[in-house]
Homo-oligomer: A and B are copies of this chain.
């Protein structure tokens, strides 16, 4: 499954570019040659646009203009994020032939940083679901086992990175949509704190839970991309104790988890004291907000052209439309309470660690696994951090049954450096 960028970090790519060992145009060519149509990672490729942008990036570098670590780097963008002149297909027949007129804010940031957009990656229809196999474009396949789900909804972004087609991709994450496919595909994925990366130009799923995030091979590369999109880190990163190299870490006990997945991740934090959060209650909050806001976005389409949705999406939107308002009222009140509880936990700990996913990637088309119905399981450990708006990072943690397992790290808003520091130390210790 190795592609042109497999095993290459942004730093190494940048060194090669700046040493003249490789041009941006060669990187783009490598990206395009690595695209494996069978994996179905891309909804749209833009060879012409990428070639032109790469040429420009090369000319700038040659003339001494250096835009930083993403300069000349091929990047893929999830197909619910507008890139001017390219289709934004949303994985849906509803948006067949729809061409974006302007760039999303996060895409403008990428371009300003010199990144080269090679195409739009496949998404779960309207980003509403975590499997990666519900789209007008068909399922996106897991490069570790093509009969298995990529995870979603940023399916293609994860697969494009995991298969070495690009070193970096943009995704979105409303309940886990960056972290789910990152974990299933064995790469790193970062969902920032809520609102840090603006969502203008991104098709909404649930406005108060939507986040733009980044997917890359390593936590270090997620950090570089995140800083490029948002500006420099806080001046004083939290000091880290030598005796506690990842900071003070709490192990958050998952409510339902494959034992082998749990062992794999727990082994990385053997000394972390176990703590609990109310996953079940947080799930109620998540679903009340997500369903209410998602149906608001789609109500007219559901009424007027239901047949254009994939059946699974239509079914979920119909469920979403039946979420009562009083449950949303209660959810918003409960969210405040959970935020206080988790803030208290994050007074005692620097980081919360847990598996990203309670399972490894199921087979394409599955709706039920041994642990229960898939829809709820997929977001069980990721969605609390959307509800609470906290930064959350998944990093490769090993394998279970031969399939990738991710470790999820959650930290305080504003303490992203600590999160990335810990993840990099973790990766160092592992290797």
Asked if B321 contacts A326 (CB within 8 A), the reply is: yes
**A295's contact among B299, B320, B325, by CB below 8 Å, is which?**
B325
Asked if A324 contacts B325 (CB within 8 A), the reply is: yes
Contacts of A327 on B, CB cut-off 8 Å? 296, 325
Contacts of A292 on B, CB cut-off 8 Å? 324-326, 328-329
The dominant DSSP class at the A interface is helix
Asked if A321 contacts B323 (CB within 8 A), the reply is: no
Contacts of A288 on B, CB cut-off 8 Å? 325
Most chain B CB atoms below 10 A, which of A292, A293, A325, A328: A325
Contacts of A294 on B, CB cut-off 8 Å? 326
Contacts of A321 on B, CB cut-off 8 Å? 324, 326
Asked if B328 contacts A320 (CB within 8 A), the reply is: no
Question: Is A431's beta carbon under 8 Å from chain B?
Answer: no
Please encode chain A, from 295 to 329, with 1 for each CB lying within 8 Å of some chain B CB and 0 for all others: 11001000000000000000000001111111111
How many whole Å from A209's CB to the nearest CB in chain B?
12
Contacts of A296 on B, CB cut-off 8 Å? 326-327, 329-330, 333
Question: Is A4's beta carbon under 8 Å from chain B?
Answer: no
Question: Is A291's beta carbon under 8 Å from chain B?
Answer: yes
**In the bound complex, how far is the Cα of B326 from the Cα of A294, in angstroms?**
8
Contacts of A325 on B, CB cut-off 8 Å? 288, 291-292, 295, 323-325, 327-328
How many whole Å from A76's CB to the nearest CB in chain B?
31
Contacts of A333 on B, CB cut-off 8 Å? 296
Residues facing B in A278-296 (CB within 8 A) are 288, 291-296
Residues facing B in A108-159 (CB within 8 A) are none
Contacts of A323 on B, CB cut-off 8 Å? 324-326
**In the bound complex, how far is the Cα of B329 from the Cα of A291, in angstroms?**
10
How many whole Å from A217's CB to the nearest CB in chain B?
38
Asked if B326 contacts A299 (CB within 8 A), the reply is: yes
How many whole Å from A320's CB to the nearest CB in chain B?
7
**In the bound complex, how far is the Cα of B298 from the Cα of A330, in angstroms?**
12
**In the bound complex, how far is the Cα of B328 from the Cα of A296, in angstroms?**
9
How many whole Å from A175's CB to the nearest CB in chain B?
16
**In the bound complex, how far is the Cα of B255 from the Cα of A147, in angstroms?**
61
Most chain B CB atoms below 10 A, which of A288, A322, A329: A329
Contacts of A295 on B, CB cut-off 8 Å? 324-326
Known contacts A321-B324, A325-B325; 9 further A-B pairs (Cβ under 8 A): A291-B325, A292-B328, A293-B329, A295-B324, A296-B327, A296-B330, A321-B326, A323-B326, A325-B327
Chain A residues within CB distance 8 Å of chain B: 288, 291-296, 299, 320-330, 333
CB pairs A–B below 8 angstroms (21 shown): A288-B325, A292-B324, A292-B325, A292-B328, A293-B329, A294-B326, A295-B324, A295-B325, A295-B326, A296-B327, A296-B330, A299-B330, A321-B324, A321-B326, A323-B325, A324-B324, A324-B325, A325-B325, A325-B327, A325-B328, A328-B329
